[in-house]
Amino acid sequence: MKRDAARLPAFAWPVLAGVLMAAFGLRLWLGQGLPLWLDESWTAMIATQPNWARFWREVWLDCNPPLYYAVMAIWTGVFGASDLALRAPSLIFALLMIALPLGLRVPGLSRAAAMCFAAVLALWQPGFDISVDARSYALVLALSVGQLFAYIRLMTAPDRRTAWVWASLASLAGLTHYHALLVSGLQGLALLYVHRGRALQLWPVAFAFVPAFAWLAVHAPRLADYARPDVAWYEPMTPSLAAGFIRYVLGGAGWLHIGILAGLIVLSQAMAWRWPAAPIAPMAEARRALHWAVMASLIGLMIELALGTFRPMLTDRYLVPLVPGILLGLVIAIGQSRYYLASLAALVIAFGVTITPSDLRAKRVEKTDYGFAPASSFIADSPAKRLVFTWDHPAARILDTQSLAQLGGFFVNRAGRDMPVTAIVLPPGRDGNAVLQRASPSDAGVIWIYNRARASAARHRPPVPLLWHGRDCQLETTRWIGTLACTPKQ
């Protein structure tokens, strides 16, 4: 795909700048004025621990690796723990991800293809959400883009310096999300298969993975708790769910979008056969490196779907480390003919036309419905002198009650109400209305956040405000999730 950058039309850069500015502006709008949702609240609680000993305890108790939390602990120590401060790093990571294809030259990848790749990354629909989310996915996506580029360079011309860069980025990605280690392993196997003896000479770079695997070994006993059948909350794999995962990595839109992409690939391949690209300088190693980089992500996707079929363990966000390689595969597949500029432009348009700001905002609002920030404001403004908190979810049965208490108290403490918090774990099948009222002193506020789609107490016995005699209650609920907040009467 190597082309002369001089052949780019004069308007290419202004058009790209406009696309990126629009994508950035939409991200700012999407996150505006919405409270933190539950998972973001976990980030806030872990990142704002008063000392490093307690920080590492909470990180070990969580089901995620430590790198993102460490970054957030340092960040919040400087910029505070407001909603904006907690979400800002993800936006920065998203901007870095988009800048990498524009600032780094990759063997075999033309300037036009790199620009197209940056635009597609910016317009990838799930990216709008994760870039305004105080979670680790924007960081792992940025690291995965850098890892992908380093891997292409390594496969083109193996040398120790490039190998260290690739291995270090791969290790950092694994320390951000464990599923990133799958694509790293597949990339490493392909490197050994293609370069054999030359690859074996790079063995010292394996030490770059020591931090990731050392932490994984330390964390393994805790991860085993989350893998228990009575705790895991993942959906069993079905054809419909698998199709949704595939749509996710390709942009998160509907089947029309997938059909457009398939049509573009078929048309581009036909054009490449009828009007092949003009002869260029041999770049066999670079083209092979590009193809292996894409194959590692495609094979990784198949393995993830297969593992999720044998054991429910997959949700769409876990596929983020595979996204850069798969999107790059689209760019490569489409930009093969003499008319590659038109084909690449059509790919960007295909991603752009699927974006509906109102739909993205609605999805973001729906996500933040699963949270307890408004309920905490209701408690903080009441005469409550203490708080009883419960997260009604299968995972709660293995969580440390001290951690749950810190989670439940985050917002009221941030609002300046220093009140003791007691965490209650509701057994499935029990009436949470009765259990929580018995456990709540008359001067206590109560927050009950639940997910009825799982094995929770609220699944069969949901909150009923009328049963809470002597208290003022508000209930925010949708079909499957909700939050009950009750306070002593004024």
**Residue boundaries of the structural domains of the chain:** 5-366, 370-488
| Model confidence at 114: pLDDT above 70 | yes
The three-state DSSP-derived secondary structure of 354-380 is: CCCHHHHHHHHHHHHCCCCHHHHHHHH
Residue 230 confidence (pLDDT) = 80
Residue 73 has pLDDT above 60, yes or no: yes
- Strands lying side by side in the sheet with 471-477: 421-423, 386-392, 444-451, 481-488, 471-477
- Nearest Cα neighbor of 481 from 402, 373, 405, 392 is 392
> By percentage, how much of the chain surpasses pLDDT 70?
96
Q: What does the pLDDT read at residue 3? A: 47
Q: Which pLDDT score, from 0 to 100, does residue 282 have?
A: 43
Tokens of 56: 């590492």
pLDDT of residue 86: 98
Query: Coil, strand, or helix at residue 99?
Result: helix
Instruction: Quickly state the pLDDT bin for 5 (edges 50, 70, 90).
Output: very low
Over residues 360-388, the mean pLDDT reads: 95
Global pTM reads: 0.93
Q: How confident is the model at residue 274 (pLDDT cuts 50, 70, 90)?
A: low
Q: Please, which pLDDT band fits residue 273 given cuts at 50, 70 and 90?
A: low
For the cut 50, the answer to whether the pLDDT of residue 461 exceeds it is yes
For residue 280, the model assigns a pLDDT of 39
Average pLDDT over residues 247-268: 81
Confidence (pLDDT) at 432: 94
What's the confidence (pLDDT) of residue 29?
94
pLDDT of residue 1: 47
Non-local CB neighbours of 179 within 8 Å, separated by 6+ positions: 304, 318, 319, 320, 321
Residue with tokens 């860069």: 165
Chain position carrying tokens 């078929």: 266
**Bridging pattern class, strands 386-392 and 421-423:** parallel
Of residues 1 and 353, more confidently modeled: 353
Q: To the nearest whole number, what is the mean pLDDT of the chain?
A: 91
Closest among 370, 425, 372, 371 to 398, alpha carbons compared: 425
d(CA 86, CA 452): 28
**Burial class of residue 471, CB neighbours in 10 A (0-12, 13-18, 19+):** buried
Q: Dig out the tokens for 63 from the structure.
A: 């089901």
In which band, very low, low, confident or very high, does the pLDDT at 180 lie, cut at 50, 70 and 90?
Answer: very high
pLDDT of residue 275: 60
